[in-house]
Amino acid sequence: MNQQLTHITLVVRDYDEAIQFYTQQLGFELIEDTILSETKRWVLVKPRGSGYCSLLLAKAATDEQSTRIGNQTGGRVFLFLSTDNFERDYNSLLTKGITIVREPSEEVYGTVCVFADLYGNYWDLIQYKR
């Protein structure tokens, strides 16, 4: 059996502001932006590199979905962005005005900090020890 995680849905307020944040602020690639209807698009972004998993940016369509924007995991870290150069990527977050929630620390598994995306979802930026 061969399985892999391919997409993770991230509920957003607006497609274009989310695309701008993930591509311009975090440096992700826009993989696809297909119009499905007057109100729905299929928008995929992913970090640059060799990974396969991407984020499906899904615009909230109901009041219930809107309540999940920015807090999809009840205040826990939601996504983990690994890097081959923590210092470079951490400094990029600072330069671009990304909110740092928890300053860098050295842990048994690597160097990590927590940052918030434009909606307030928490992310770990982590460089794993080899």
Q: Residue 65 has what pLDDT?
A: 95
Q: Residue 7 has what pLDDT?
A: 96
Using CA atoms, how far apart are residues 65 and 11, in angstroms rounded to an integer? 7
pLDDT band of residue 130 (cuts 50, 70, 90) is confident
Q: Contact 15/41 with Cβ under 8 angstroms?
A: yes
pLDDT band of residue 50 (cuts 50, 70, 90) is confident
Phi/psi for 118 (5° steps) reads: -65, -20
Computed over every residue of the chain, the mean pLDDT equals 96
What fold characterizes domain 71-130? 2,3-Dihydroxybiphenyl 1,2-Dioxygenase; domain 1 (3.10.180)
The answer on pLDDT for 89 being more than 90 is yes
Q: Residue 116 has what pLDDT?
A: 97
Helix/strand number for the chain, H first, E second = 3, 8
Is there a common fold for 1-69 and 71-130?
A: yes
- 40: Cβ contacts below 8 Å, ≥ 6 apart: 59, 61
Q: What is the pLDDT of residues 51-86, one digit of tens each?
A: 889 999 999 999 999 999 999 999 999 999 999 999
Q: Residue 82 has what pLDDT?
A: 96
* Tokens of residue 41, six digits: 């698009």
Mean pLDDT of 34-54: 94
Domain 1-69 part of CATH 3.10.180.10? yes
DSSP, res 5? -
Using CA atoms, how far apart are residues 80 and 126, in angstroms rounded to an integer? 7
- Residue 120 gets the label, from left (phi > 0), alpha (psi -120 to 50) or beta, of left
Domain boundaries, the chain: 1-69, 71-130
